[in-house]
Chain A
């Protein structure tokens, strides 16, 4: 009876490990092949809006600010801040430290068509720990800032 249980236990452990390996494999595959190299635009969103606040155009090498972020007057600054030299976009996130909302800094790279969150404040800092993305979305919570890649079917227009 005891022997049987241990076999069952072993099988369970094996099954669980197998399951995790498969899931891990799928996850890695997804990250490797998601949009690989095909993305031509990365859109930055804030809050629940489906209108990108900033668009990074990897085809024509430009960053387009679509509209200003709606922030309270007490924040003495207009967001998003676009720095073409440092290649960064700065938004005001929702996460507060001592009652002050914290910034989220996104860095982009035209040649590699990549985006990275290089600065943020949040309990787990998940989105900055995601590293450089060339396809998978970067979602910063509780800052409610997200970056999603999109494709245009074209590479150039003449």
Chain B
């Protein structure tokens, strides 16, 4: 009897002790000030002090790319950087010295342009601006409303007058100095579809360098990166996919993916759009047609490199199904990408490798 009693005490105390010896816990870090995005990070750290150290480094990454990719105002007078996208856009055809960080980012964007046969192109800023203005111009934006025909026709005329030139960006280095020349009289650069993902990937790289296993980063509603989930067996995060056709709170999402150690980016037409004759016009503009295309409501891409995912999901969004399939046949395995299409007719097509996708029961 005594033995049983003692063993009970032993088991209970072991259980209690095992729960107490876990060193460290998850800490939350968030920013409102960069890239028009609410960035929210959960990271495993030994204590608050360590988490605060991470925060300093991570904030510096987002702040850096926020400043460099800004295309609506120049750098602050006391900025540590040489040029940003705004100032580069004022100096077409000039040879401009830029910071290495911006050079490497633009180089990456150019790589993706080549990789996607020009379906991703950061030099179409002029066209993107016209469509963005249609949506969210202060006085008369048509966000979530119907665009009158005469306004729509005027936008088409304006867009058609813009002549897009191919391969306008020239990047050169000399003696550890970095230069850009935009060979066009009018082309405008826009890093909006890559810089957030790119910066987030740098944060992921930083956390991995520190050998941190448990983390999650949500950069706005369209881009996430996860390590492993400390709170769930197997380290899995459950990521639901936003339903672009939601009508009420009961059909907020259309499916779920179960992931760890991966990045997920969605490009979609549902967060900002105006309608014209039953089609949605959004901010993802095809470099080929200069129009927002209506093949899909969302394209979700899973992979290892968020900068690449951000740009690739943008590119795929403007490809018709045939082009997208051909592109995936060529590149999916080499790039280790997985794709989920929510088509315009509300059908769902997946191109998965290992990740499990579950459609919500209807």
- Neighbouring B residues of A36 by C-beta, 8 Å: 231
Quick check: A25 and B8 within 8 Å, CB to CB? yes
Q: What's the nearest-Cβ distance from chain A to residue B249, in Å?
A: 12
Quick check: A111 and B12 within 8 Å, CB to CB? no
* B19: interface (CB < 8 Å): yes
Cα A25 to Cα B30 in complex, Å, equals: 39
Closest to A11 in B: B1
Quick check: A153 and B238 within 8 Å, CB to CB? yes
Binary per-residue interface labels of chain A (17-59) against chain B in the complex, 1 for a CB within 8 Å, 0 otherwise: 1100110110011001000111000000000000000000000
* B245: interface (CB < 8 Å): no
Quick check: A32 and B265 within 8 Å, CB to CB? no
- Neighbouring A residues of B221 by C-beta, 8 Å: 157-158
- Neighbouring A residues of B161 by C-beta, 8 Å: none
With A22-B8, A32-B15, A61-B28 as contacts: A14 and B1 at CB distance below 8 Å: yes
* B286: interface (CB < 8 Å): no
State the majority secondary structure of interface residues on B. strand
Residues 45-92 of A contacting B (Cβ, < 8 Å): 60-61
Quick check: A21 and B5 within 8 Å, CB to CB? yes
- Neighbouring B residues of A153 by C-beta, 8 Å: 238, 240, 256
Residues 114-158 of A contacting B (Cβ, < 8 Å): 153-158
* B242: interface (CB < 8 Å): yes
Quick check: B238 and A155 within 8 Å, CB to CB? yes
Quick check: A37 and B231 within 8 Å, CB to CB? yes
Cα A36 to Cα B4 in complex, Å, equals: 29
Residues 124-138 of B contacting A (Cβ, < 8 Å): none
* B232: interface (CB < 8 Å): yes
With A28-B15, A32-B15, A61-B30 as contacts: A156 and B239 at CB distance below 8 Å: yes
- Neighbouring B residues of A158 by C-beta, 8 Å: 221-224, 239-242, 264-266, 300
Cα A157 to Cα B266 in complex, Å, equals: 10
- Neighbouring A residues of B40 by C-beta, 8 Å: 60-61
- Neighbouring B residues of A110 by C-beta, 8 Å: 28
Partner of A155, one of B237, B252, B253: B237
* A98: interface (CB < 8 Å): no
Quick check: B5 and A38 within 8 Å, CB to CB? no
Closest to A36 in B: B231
Interface size class of A (residues with CB under 8 A): 20 to 34
With A28-B12, A37-B232, A111-B27 as contacts: A18 and B4 at CB distance below 8 Å: yes
Closest to B20 in A: A32
Quick check: A17 and B231 within 8 Å, CB to CB? no
- Neighbouring A residues of B42 by C-beta, 8 Å: 111
Binary per-residue interface labels of chain B (1-36) against chain A in the complex, 1 for a CB within 8 Å, 0 otherwise: 100110011011001100100000111101000000
- Neighbouring B residues of A22 by C-beta, 8 Å: 8
Cα A37 to Cα B231 in complex, Å, equals: 5
Quick check: B5 and A154 within 8 Å, CB to CB? no
* B341: interface (CB < 8 Å): no
Binary per-residue interface labels of chain B (216-256) against chain A in the complex, 1 for a CB within 8 Å, 0 otherwise: 10100111101001111000011111100000000011001
- Neighbouring A residues of B252 by C-beta, 8 Å: 157
Q: What's the nearest-Cβ distance from chain A to residue B63, in Å?
A: 20
Q: What's the nearest-Cβ distance from chain B to residue A21, in Å?
A: 5
- Neighbouring B residues of A37 by C-beta, 8 Å: 230-232
Cα A57 to Cα B250 in complex, Å, equals: 18
With A28-B15, A37-B230, A37-B231 as contacts: A156 and B237 at CB distance below 8 Å: yes
Cα A21 to Cα B16 in complex, Å, equals: 13
Quick check: B19 and A157 within 8 Å, CB to CB? no
Cα A38 to Cα B229 in complex, Å, equals: 10
Cα A136 to Cα B9 in complex, Å, equals: 24
Please name the 4 residue pairs, one residue from A and one from B, whose CB atoms are nearest each other, closest first.
A37-B231, A111-B28, A154-B240, A158-B266
List the interface of chain A (C-beta within 8 A of B). 11, 14, 17-18, 21-22, 24-25, 28-29, 32, 36-38, 60-61, 110-112, 153-158
Q: What are 28 residue pairs bridging A and B, where the CB atoms are less than 8 Å apart in the complex? A: A11-B1, A18-B4, A21-B9, A25-B12, A25-B15, A28-B12, A32-B19, A36-B231, A37-B232, A38-B231, A61-B28, A111-B26, A112-B25, A154-B238, A154-B240, A155-B229, A155-B237, A156-B226, A156-B237, A157-B221, A157-B239, A157-B240, A157-B241, A157-B252, A158-B223, A158-B241, A158-B242, A158-B264
